[in-house]
Structure 1
Amino acid sequence: MTSSERPFRFGVNLRTVDDRRSWLDGARRVEELGYDMLLVPDHLGFPSPFPALVAAAGVTDHLRLGTCVLNAGFYNPTILARDVATADVSTGGRIELGLGTGYVRAEFETAGLPFESAGQRVAHLRTTVETVYDLFDDESHAPRPTQSHVPLFLAGNGDKMLRLAAERADIIGFTGASTDRDGTMSLNSPADLGSRVQFARDAAGDRADSIEWNLLVQRVVITDDHEQITAELHEQFAPELTPAEFAEHPTILVGTVEQIAAKLNELRERTGISYITVSEPDLAIFAPVIELLRSC
Structure 2
Amino acid sequence: MPRPTIRVPCSIWRATGTTEGERAIPQETAIAFTFNTASYAVMMATPQDLEDFAVGFALTEGVVPSIDAIDEIEVVEEAVGIELRVWLKAKDATEFLGRRRKMAGPTGCGLCGVESLSEAMRPPPKVGEGRVLTPNQIMTAVESLAPRQELNRETRAVHAAGFWDPERGLVAVREDVGRHNALDKLAGALARDGATAEQGVVVLTSRVSIEMVQKSAAIGAAIVAAVSAPTALAVRMADECGMTLVAIARKDGFEVFTHPHRVKGKLESDVA
TM-score (norm 2): 0.26
Between the two structures, name the one with larger relative contact order (CA 8 Å, sep ≥ 6): 1
Higher fraction of helix: 1
Higher fraction of strand: 2
